Structure 1
């Protein structure tokens, strides 16, 4: 009887990106990733920021003591050395895996400038790693340097977290232009999944007006997620605790909002998969 092979995972690779800092991008990566894990998905989080905020948020405070990080693996790829998809992976108690980062990634970014396949080094790693996961989330740094370009080149799609109390019209336009540029030149399949409103203070007119203007300005060309993430002190405290909002303050509005957002992202993925299967069967 011939050996039966398991069907390869139909993985999604999503970059969370915004050139502006302070949008709740890393907090969203943590709580979306763990939210998807709570819904039964196997999830890998990749810290693609030399500051290592994602690594810190998941409880690894002493990043410099880590023997293997994203910079280690990408360095091997640049030097054409063998690597394994699971080397350096850290396991979090809430059911997600992490490829960590530290300041060494900043040095590697300078090295990438002269590398032969400088835009697709991270893609080489992700293409191997994603075979073991249903979803890979990449937390991008708040700039469009070589590491962020690598993240966009490796991703299937992008989620853009945006502050509800600051209308980022100019920044959003520039970000979309940069995503479009990567799509044209490096990654033709790249698309924007949607825009997530974060740090929403429903008590203020400014937050409501910002949300409405964002929907009016971009709603016809971009999906604006129904879920909105409220301002929450507890959500900010989770990074020091190394936990998700679900473990730290499970009954909070922020925990409920992230849970709903995770369901929304999962449902979108199922729709995309069904659409792809339908087109392939024609």
Structure 2
């Protein structure tokens, strides 16, 4: 059984990869990562700060200092995918011949040719409540719209963007004393646990129960500087950053105990 794990090469992708490596250790795993930086991430000050902390510091600096990571292939060994073109990233991913793909915080859209080529399907972890929060930066928009409970939806990937059948939803109560980064980490932690169970079912030849998404919904893009200025909580705090780093870099047994206590 081959399972491809597709994440973003940042702190939340590291946390997702750690959980999946632990839960899916029965299979042959290969880790792929998106490394794309969108223009908005350099133009909007708040997005530049998030890139600095989530990627430049967490991965390019701190992870680079670690010679190994117990229970997880080092991020430097993950296969980078720059695109999903037929002769590019899609070919690299499919050369592994995955039976199942699980995507969490992955920045690229899977084209139909890739979806059709994965026998048991692609499971995606989307950090927003669907169908109301499709698209980019769903944790931000859920907070900005005043949701008292944020959702992270696990769904099968189909032809649309964040439109496939729902396998489960992880929910995180909004806490005004915590930062956007903290909420984002909690959303991914809960969603990835659901995804791991769904992928294990698919790997055994089963079919996890799915529910078609209702009609309607909304699609969001990157927030602007003005959107960030109106956000009712900080992007990050020292306390929250230290906590998220601790979870992402924790050894498997410690990380599991932290998730159980959350």
TM-score (ref. length: structure 2)? 0.38
Which has more helix, going by share of residues? 1
TM-score (ref. length: structure 1)? 0.36
Who wins on radius of gyration, i.e. which is larger?
A: 1
